[in-house]
Amino acid sequence: MAAISVTDINMEVGSIYIKSTHTTNSRMLSLKAGQILLLYTWLQQVRPQLLKGADSDVLLIGHRGKPMSADDIVKHVIRSYKHVYPERAVTAQAIRGSVIANLLQQGYDISVVQQFAGHKYPSSTERYKQSGVEVLKAAIEQYHPMK
């Protein structure tokens, strides 16, 4: 997320371009209406105030007007959401994994989820599939009274 630039957002089409990394492929993701509105507000109102006239192509700007690093983003996610799920370790990676697992659980084709996640290999996406037994184990671990 720290690598996303303003030019990676296409408001007319409603998409965001995610660059490739050494472990993921590049991809173009469609944005939903609420995401477009949120990004529009960020780009037109909040971000310019944070930059205070400075020039930067980086999408995510912190309170001090500097680009947010990956570590800053992780800290923000943890601070913002750890109280929502106090029994879990909330990280950006955990949220990403949860989204991928939920898409597979909802029945999306593995190739569609692979492309969405940017995985280079189908086996990377396959890891997120949960069998019925794994779902039951997770529920037992979460709700069993003897932890």
Alpha helices in 82-121 (DSSP H): 92-105, 110-117
* Sign of torsion over alpha carbons 35, 41, 44, 50: negative
Instruction: Note the pLDDT of residue 8.
Output: 97
Question: Six-digit token pair at 111?
Answer: 């190739």
What does the alpha-carbon distance between residue 141 and residue 147 come to, in Å, rounded to a whole number? Answer: 7
- With a threshold of 0.85, does the pTM exceed it? no
Per residue of the chain (147 residues), give pLDDT as tens: 899 999 999 999 999 999 999 989 999 999 999 999 999 999 999 999 999 989 999 999 998 899 999 899 888 888 888 888 888 778 888 888 989 999 998 999 999 999 999 999 999 999 998 766 666 777 787 777 765
